[in-house]
Amino acid sequence: MKIFYLCSQKLNALMEGEHNLARLIREGNLRYLPHLSLDCVIFGFHEGQLKVLLLKMKHKSDWSLPGGFVAHTETLEQAADRVLNERTGLSGIFLKQFHVFSDLSRSDIPQTLSELRRDGIEAKVGDWLAQRYISVGFYALVSFSKVVPRADMLSDACEWRDLSDVGKLILDHNQILGKALETMRLQLNYQPIGYNLLPPSFTMPELQRLYEAILGKKLDRRNFQRRMLGFGILRRLPERKAGGAHKAPYLYEFDHEAYKRALLEGLHGGW
């Protein structure tokens, strides 16, 4: 009986998802701006690895970045905040618009129609979902431990993946991910990163591993520590990391006010 109940629940959820998708195709123009979408690259950091949040598309093996559409009553930023909240359960997180993707071939309309019809959903060229979309890219930095990944009506799963284990994503989502990472690396040259990705207290080696994961290269330990302390955005705590050796590394925290000033005024010197 328990197995039957679980299968029944899964079937009901699947039918509900298809019902919502069909309604979205019919009523999309009433709720959302046409031809405009957004894709979010959500980065986290865990056990020395840079992570990205991905969605697995329904009935398929394909994975994608979380995305969505802009309601008639929303700004782009409000829509991105909503999408992030729906996928992570968080609000008020670091969010940055980084690029517009408008390649003529990015919307594969014939494939979209074929997949919808294969799923038993009536659709034709010109329907709201079966049209060309220009996408605005946003990237977000979140605390890995605070995220509760949530799928949407077009997906079966929402999971963290190591950046090195992303594989092939749908459409141009690999390009979007690559551009977000490139933008974040450039940001390191003039703005601090870490407040949204690390726990409240951390060691200098943990901060260095974060920078190395983003940059994709090793950094000299002494030069890294000297530069980070020189920025004036860190405060050393009196205690050392618990459970470590006799000379375990000291713990640090970000000086929140100094960090905010650095975001506005910028840092000097590249990596």
Q: Give residue-wise pLDDT tens across range 95-132.
A: 999 999 999 888 776 676 676 667 666 767 667 777 88
Clarify whether residues 170 and 237 are in a common domain. no
CB–CB of 37/137 below 8 Å? no
Range of weakest confidence among 105-119, 152-166, 233-247: 105-119
Clarify whether residues 156 and 227 are in a common domain. no
CB–CB of 169/123 below 8 Å? no
pLDDT for res 7: 32
221 inside domain? yes
pLDDT for res 179: 98
Clarify whether residues 39 and 169 are in a common domain. yes
pLDDT bucket at 247, cuts 50 / 70 / 90: confident
Strands 63-64, 49-57: pairing kind: antiparallel
Give the three-class secondary structure for 240: strand
270 inside domain? no
pLDDT bucket at 18, cuts 50 / 70 / 90: very low
User: 33 lies in which domain range?
Assistant: 2-187
The tally of domains found in the chain comes to: 2
Does the pLDDT value for residue 15 go beyond 60? Answer: no
Q: What residues form DSSP beta bridges with 46?
A: 49
Clarify whether residues 124 and 250 are in a common domain. no
Q: What number is the average pLDDT over the span 231-249?
A: 82
Candidate ranges 5-9, 142-146, 264-268; pick with highest mean pLDDT: 142-146
Clarify whether residues 143 and 206 are in a common domain. no
Clarify whether residues 217 and 163 are in a common domain. no
